[in-house]
Amino acid sequence: MAIKPQIRKDEYFDELEVMTVEKREAYFESRLSETVANAYKNAPAAKRILDDAGVSPSQIKTIKDLELLPVTRKSDIIEMQRSNPPYGGFLSIPQNDVERVFISPGPIYEPMQHTGIKWFAKSLWAAGFRKGDVVINTFTYHMSPAGILCHEAISDCGATAVPVGTGHTEVTVQAMLDLRATGYVGTPSFLMAIIKQAEELGYNFKNDFYIKRAWFTGEMLASSVRQTLEKDYDIDTYQAYAVTEPGGAIAYECSCKDRLHLMDEYIVEIVNPSNGKQLTDGEVGEVVVTPVHNNTWGLLRFGTGDLSSIVDDVCPCGRTTKKLTGIQGRIGEAVKVRGMFVVSNQVESLFAQYREVAKWQITVARIGQRDEMTITAELCDDNCDKIKLADEIGNRFKSICLINPDKIEFVPADTLPKDSKTIVDNRKWD
Ligand SMILES: [Zn+2]
């Protein structure tokens, strides 16, 4: 839904957002050369990727030149880290200089150091968070980066952060009320769950609470949910597209809410997933990201597996970046459920320990305003203790993938189609 933008005096987070086309091109080319040279010199994995492609760092001068390099995907990083632990050769600073390590599903170890990069602050700033706001941060503070990086971004905007994390709905409702929280950071589903809980407790959310704006990532914001939040509850909603492996938010909405501005901390390409060749503006392909401000980790051309397109239009807000249209689907066998990635080979390693299970499939559906995940497992022996098995699988799944499956169903052998996909995403986002 496009609303008339109100451009504030302090609208922009930095001068990068309003560079001219020529300035941005020169900026990207200089950042790119430096990034590739640094990765080649300091990250053995990046050196090997360039050497194998027969490309020298000096050949990568423009965004178009990136096509000379292969796309590196989540599964490649997992494999490289497994054979060369812990960082797979991507670390490009001395190990002692690593300030923190995140663990994303896979598992992927993501080293970080203090770089001065505002991973999420620019997008929270564009959403209007400022000093005086009290912001409830409902992303998990464990292992994956979202909780801590969003917390820091709330502080970077001058606002007060309340680190509630995921899943404590009732405590969160109470804290929002007691602290007169004005902002929410998290997934749209969890905000809807909070509102529902507050209403069940007898509150009128619109009148009794103070939430004025909400910022979402990790899950697409369906237009029906946006409408409910904005019209029924008077909450100004914003969304950002974030990818953890290369760092943080890649694209974010401004007050026009008409597609997502690209962050200048990354080079974002849209490519044909089968050959890595760049597509033209407007064409749908895989989102491929190269961070150009992160010298900690020599990750070039990270293939997100997300499908989208880029458009180049003039935005009334005054930002001059190109924009990413919404995420239109996933390539391959990984899926984001309630903000967490479920990767096929993680689930494969779980089921490898259960001889009773011959085959499995995960189905993700959108029920109301929530992602619902069902695991279907084919049993070799129908007489086993299904309740105990479901319990064990559920617990192990939670400990590996960090989210709970909603249903675990057992079916007799040969029920699932022979060459069926392991993960099926049935969600529609309209
Ligand atoms: Zn804009």
Name the helix (H) or strand (E) containing 394. Answer: helix 386-401
Span from the CA of 321 to the centroid of ligand 1 (angstroms): 8
Confidence (pLDDT) at 8: 65
Span from the CA of 283 to the centroid of ligand 1 (angstroms): 21
Domains (ranges, CATH) in the chain?
14-99+258-332 (3.40.50.12780), 120-246 (3.40.50.12780), 336-425 (3.30.300.30)
Three-class secondary structure of residue 367 per DSSP: strand
Read off the pTM. 0.81
What average pLDDT does range 113-137 have in this prediction? Answer: 92
- 28 confidence band (pLDDT: 50, 70, 90): very high
Mean pLDDT value across the chain: 91
Span from the CA of 313 to the centroid of ligand 1 (angstroms): 10
How is residue 264 annotated by DSSP? T
Span from the CA of 5 to the centroid of ligand 1 (angstroms): 8
By CB atoms closer than 10 A (0-12, 13-18, 19+), residue 27 is middle
Residue in the block written with tokens 């069940």: 200
Q: How far is CA 119 from the centre of its chain?
A: 12
What average pLDDT does range 210-233 have in this prediction? Answer: 95
Q: Evaluate whether 136 touches 184 at the Cβ level (below 8 Å).
A: yes
Helix then strand then coil, % of the chain, to nearest 5: 30, 25, 45
Span from the CA of 364 to the centroid of ligand 1 (angstroms): 32
Q: Report whether pLDDT(5) > 80.
A: no
In this structure, of 17-31, 203-217, 254-268, 337-351, the range with the lowest mean pLDDT score is 337-351
Note the pLDDT tens digit of each residue in 312-359: 989 999 999 999 998 877 776 567 788 776 877 778 888 988 989 999
Mark 320-359 as b/e (b = at least 16 C-beta within 10 Å): bbbbbbbbeebbbbbbbbbbbbbbbebbeebbeebebbbb
Span from the CA of 199 to the centroid of ligand 1 (angstroms): 34
Beta bridge mates, 366: 371
Tell me how far apart the alpha carbons of residues 59 and 56 are, in angstroms, rounded to a whole number: 6
Q: Report whether pLDDT(407) > 60.
A: yes
Three-class secondary structure of residue 276 per DSSP: coil
Note the pLDDT tens digit of each residue in 278-318: 999 988 889 999 999 888 999 999 999 998 899 998 999 99
Confidence (pLDDT) at 2: 43
Span from the CA of 345 to the centroid of ligand 1 (angstroms): 39
Confidence (pLDDT) at 3: 46
Tell me how far apart the alpha carbons of residues 303 and 382 are, in angstroms, rounded to a whole number: 41
What average pLDDT does range 182-197 have in this prediction? Answer: 96
Span from the CA of 311 to the centroid of ligand 1 (angstroms): 12
By CB atoms closer than 10 A (0-12, 13-18, 19+), residue 73 is buried
Q: Report whether pLDDT(167) > 90.
A: no
Ion ligand 1, residues whose Cβ is below 5 A away: 254, 256, 315, 317, 319
Tokens of 341: 């990635």
Helix 344-351 crosses helix 386-401 at what angle (to 10 degrees)?
140
* Alpha-carbon distances of 190 from 167, 290, 314, 352, rounded to whole Å: 8, 30, 33, 32
Confidence (pLDDT) at 10: 86
- 365 confidence band (pLDDT: 50, 70, 90): very high
- Angle subtended at Cα 44 by Cα 115 and Cα 47, rounded to the nearest 5 degrees: 100
Q: Letter for the amino acid at 421?
A: K
**DSSP codes, 160-180:** EEEE--SS-HHHHHHHHHHTT
- 390 confidence band (pLDDT: 50, 70, 90): very high
